């Protein structure tokens, strides 16, 4: 018990900064470092709340990738509330502290209008902004799938943004919130069979198990509804997204395939922007201008291995 108290004494919990699928997230400090602290109240072994908490903590601790939010420490303690009061209020007798990387720029949902505004003022530059965000998410998801982990509730609200001085966007995207994830998925695309996390972002096969959001289920399954693309959307982008929206999961691309397509698009945007620069400038000057304008290095060309 003394060891547990020592671990808890290292954690300084500050103001609330949001909520995940399960639990409340606070800004805090741990061993002198700014961190995010997710506090989840739950029951013990055998209860679904404990399984969700254990799953989120386990996946976070097992993951190590620049586009996945890092988890530094997990501490579980008895809930400080008197036992009878716990049962009377919420039935939870344990409290788990998940100490995570602090992403100071909020989630990607809060930056969507920023992206739209950029596309309205400079479509090409805005498209690069979008592609950069998507590629970082794909990098993180491809890594998770390589560990046989399926996220289960991927959406902008579950992608956190951390400050970056080397990127014109001012942030880097990191996948977060694994409360609905599944592990042990061998092919990386096997459908989750439980209730979807958020119906409007769920695959069709998951909507068949969700009877709460009847309107979404009806429109997607019966009417084959999908969102419309903005007028200037490139055809290659439409093609990739349409593949990801395929009704049958066998027809959807892997994250590796999506990464390749998005990388090709980003390379094309860099090439187009370079051609639009004044011809009298040297190639080296063009590269400098590109980096200053878009805030990033050009992605490496895709390497196509030779057969045999």
Query: In whole angstroms, how far apart are CA 125 and each of 131, 193, 205, 299?
Result: 10, 39, 36, 15
For the whole model, what pTM was predicted? Answer: 0.80
Q: What is the pLDDT of residues 269-297, one digit of tens each?
A: 888 777 776 654 444 444 434 344 444 44
- Where would I find the beta strands (DSSP E) of the chain? 11-19, 24-30, 33-42, 71-78, 94-101, 149-150, 159-163, 171-175, 182-183
Contact 100, 38 (CB under 8 A): yes
User: Does 5 count as an annotated binding residue?
Assistant: no
CA atoms within 13 A of residue 271's CA, in its CB half-sphere: 8
Is 124 in a helix, a strand, or coil? helix
Contact 148, 59 (CB under 8 A): no
Contact 252, 246 (CB under 8 A): yes
Domains of the chain: 2-101 (3.30.200.20), 108-294 (1.10.510.10)
Tell me what pLDDT residue 135 has: 97
| CA–CA separation, 207 and 213 (whole Å) | 9
Residues of the chain with pLDDT under 70: 1-7, 20-21, 44-51, 78-92, 185-196, 209-212, 277-308
Tell me what pLDDT residue 79 has: 57
């Amino acid at each position: 018990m003394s060891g547990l108290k020592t671990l808890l004494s290292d954690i300084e919990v500050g103001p609330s900064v949001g909520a995940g699928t399960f639990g409340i997230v606070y800004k805090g400090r741990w061993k002198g470092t700014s961190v995010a602290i997710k506090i989840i109240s739950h029951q013990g072994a055998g209860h679904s709340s404990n399984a969700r908490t254990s799953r989120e903590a386990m996946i976070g601790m097992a993951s190590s990738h620049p586009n996945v939010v890092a988890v530094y420490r997990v501490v579980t303690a008895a809930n400080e509330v008197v036992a009878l009061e716990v049962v009377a209020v919420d039935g939870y007798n344990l409290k788990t502290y998940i100490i995570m990387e602090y992403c100071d720029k909020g989630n990607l949902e809060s930056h969507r209008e920023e992206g739209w505004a950029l596309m309205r003022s400079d479509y090409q530059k805005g498209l690069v902004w979008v592609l950069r965000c998507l590629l970082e998410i794909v990098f993180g998801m491809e890594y998770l799938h390589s560990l046989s982990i399926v996220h289960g509730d991927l959406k902008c609200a579950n992608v956190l943004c951390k400050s970056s001085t080397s990127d014109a966007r001012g942030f880097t995207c990191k996948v977060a919130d694994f409360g609905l994830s599944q592990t042990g998925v061998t092919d990386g695309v096997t459908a989750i069979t439980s209730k979807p996390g958020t119906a409007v972002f769920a695959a069709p096969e998951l909507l068949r198990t969700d009877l709460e959001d009847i309107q979404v289920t009806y429109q997607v399954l019966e009417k084959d509804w999908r969102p419309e693309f903005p007028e200037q959307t490139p055809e290659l982008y439409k093609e990739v997204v349409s593949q990801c929206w395929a009704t049958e999961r066998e027809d959807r691309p892997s994250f590796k395939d999506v990464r390749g397509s998005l990388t090709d698009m980003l390379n094309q945007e860099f090439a187009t922007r370079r051609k639009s620069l004044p011809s009298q400038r040297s190639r080296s000057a063009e590269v400098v201008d590109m980096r200053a304008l878009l805030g990033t290095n050009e992605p490496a060309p895709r390497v196509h291995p030779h057969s045999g």
